[in-house]
Amino acid sequence: MSQVTDLIPHRPPFLFVDEIVSHSAGSLIAQRTWRADEDFYQGHYPSAPITPGVLLCESVFQAAACFMALKALAAGAPPGAGVPLIAKISEVRFRHPVYPGDTVIIEVKEKDALSGFTLLSGHLKKPDGTRILNVDFTVIWKSPEAAKSDAAG
């Protein structure tokens, strides 16, 4: 996990990427095992726990944050020089649920980059290849100070 936490500011209990499996100039593959003791399963749903779709999307977005951080480091930016902010989410499609104990493979691919925005696609699947979700989204990379001032404004 230290490879992930070295790249992005997310920390438990809001860290949904366990490890980076591989990466290239245009993509990243990560992995996450959803542990039965995670607090949200107590309420979603107590008698039939299922991983909330918004957290599945968040795992894709965090993998994208790792990808963007690696890309920035490769371009010579110092560690922590920026944070990724989601600018747009579109075309989310959920195909199968994720249960406590399930391991998922998270794949993020860069589709295009334009005026500071990076367009990406993300996919979750089980190790046997069963597709869980697809999502297209756009990220902008901001300095930590700019991100704080944007949030305050």
pLDDT in tens, 72-84: 899 898 887 888 8
Catalytic residue among 23, 44, 96, 123: 44
- With CA atoms as reference, report the closest residue to 66 among 29, 35, 102: 29
d(Cα 20, Cα 23) in Å, to the nearest integer? 8
Residue 11, domain CATH: 3.10.129.10
Residue-range definition of the domain harbouring residue 38: 2-152
pLDDT in tens, 102-127: 999 999 999 999 998 999 999 999 99
Whole-structure pTM value: 0.92
DSSP 37: T
Task: Give the per-residue SS3 of 40-66.
Answer: HHHCCCCCCCCCCHHHHHHHHHHHHHH
pLDDT for 145 beyond 70: no
Q: Is 44 a catalytic residue?
A: yes
Q: What domain count does the chain have?
A: 1
Which burial class, exposed, middle or buried, applies to 141 when counting CB atoms under 10 A from its CB (0-12, 13-18, 19+)? Answer: buried
